[in-house]
Amino acid sequence: MAESFEVLTPLVTPFDADGDLDIAGLESLVRHVTGAGVDGVVPCGTTGEFETLSPEEYRTVVRTVIETTPDDCRVIVGTAATDVATVHERMAFADDQGADSTLVVPSYYGGQASETGNEAFFEHVLADAPLPVYIYNIPGAVGQELSVDTVAALAQSDAVAGLKDSSGNLPYVTSVLNRTPEDFTVYQGHDGLFVPSLVLGGDGGVSALSHLLTDEFQRAGAAIADGDIGTARTVQRDVLAPLSEACGEFGFAPTVKTLLADRGVIDHATVRPPRTELPKDAVQTVTALL
């Protein structure tokens, strides 16, 4: 079991009622989550709807988050793209702004790439990486699972800091932990598996629900470190699991934005297509859960 753990927030990107970038809302959001004590923030990831941002908006989000985040809180910038050149461009910008590291997914267009192809993609990305890189396995969005063999091979690179896994596949996590070096960080990206991953030896979570439930994640992690599996199990089953299931049904960005708007952290729950906002009856359901 993990003796220490981290909780990081994959930031949503606030938009106003018209769908335009809400910079003041983003600053307020960063102050909200960092004030709650998260160990790091991750802008421009999946929950941040990065693929809907224009290049200028992307740079604005990255710059705003880094400028607003306290020095004692890490910033891991999502730098996903389908081509190596754009990944490098985004990495260079993140480095120039003062980010701590970056998060990169496999190329997500063109069908099922071979293991050799995925490994080659990451090797080209890592060749000129100015910052440590976290590999991001998210088959539901990318269309394929990054194989354990590929992760194990990439883990040998000094440029690779670890993995965020959002597959929802615990045997996958176990295999990665068994096949990678001791200092290779494995973050759970599926909130519904935060506690099981820590018990297996994972290093924490990049958890969307930490926008609002940082204390609960920390309570569960501390319980595991103390050997109090009963308390950790209760938090997972009674608090994290129901809301995680709602996120799975309605989407993490729409659900989390609904909850944040309900609590007055952001002004609007606006999302951009192809995501859609929650129906009114669903809003009542998820806010009641919180």
Point out the annotated binding site for pyruvate.
Answer: 47, 206
Single-letter amino acid, residue 156: Q
Instruction: Specify binding-site residues.
Output: 47, 206
Distance CA 180, CA 288 (A): 41
172 an active-site residue? no
Q: What number of CA atoms fall less than 13 Å from residue 159's CA on the CB side?
A: 18
Residues 159 and 129: beta-carbon distance below 8 Å? yes
Q: Which residues contact 34 (CB under 8 A, 6 or more apart)?
A: 41, 69, 70, 73
> In sequence order, which residues have a C-beta less than 8 Å from that of residue 226 and are 6 or more positions away?
none
Per the CB < 8 A criterion, the answer to whether 51 and 83 are in contact is no
- First and final C-alpha spacing in the chain: 28
Pair type for strands 101-104 and 74-78: parallel
Q: Phi and psi (nearest 5°) for 253?
A: -60, -50
Token pair 């040998």 in the structure block, residue = 156
Residue 13's identity, in one-letter code, is: T
- Catalytic residue chosen out of the listed positions 134, 164, 172, 257: 164
- Whole-number Å distance between alpha carbons of 181 and 163: 12
Measured CA to CA, the distance from residue 238 to residue 287 in angstroms comes to 15
Catalytic annotation, pick one of 136, 172, 187, 257:
136
Q: Which residues are catalytic?
A: 136, 164
